[in-house]
Amino acid sequence: MFNKNSLNNKIINTVVLILCIVLIYIIISSIIIWEKTSDLFYIISGVIVILGILFNIYLLLKERNK
């Protein structure tokens, strides 16, 4: 048999890694799009998405440490 906690930790670690990669991509693309268009909308949407991803990472890490 396998340990359920170990499997959950592996899944959470994988998801957190993917979210970190997406976070970096969103930061870079939001800055590039904002520089090209000079529109405040892209900064606001980028900040909202970044905060959402950080909150999801926080919740996943909190669940892993239970």
The phi-psi region of residue 3 (left if phi > 0; otherwise alpha if psi is between -120 and 50; otherwise beta) is beta
Report the chain's mean pLDDT, rounded to a whole number: 85
Q: Please tell me the predicted confidence (pLDDT) of residue 2.
A: 60
Residue 5 has pLDDT above 70, yes or no: yes
56 burial (CB, 10 Å; 0-12 / 13-18 / 19+) is middle
| pTM of the model as a whole | 0.76
Contact 34, 42 (CB under 8 A): yes
Residue 1 has pLDDT above 60, yes or no: no
Contacts of 53 (CB under 8 A, 6+ apart): 19, 22, 23, 26
Mean pLDDT computed over 1-26? 83
Residue 3 has pLDDT above 60, yes or no: yes
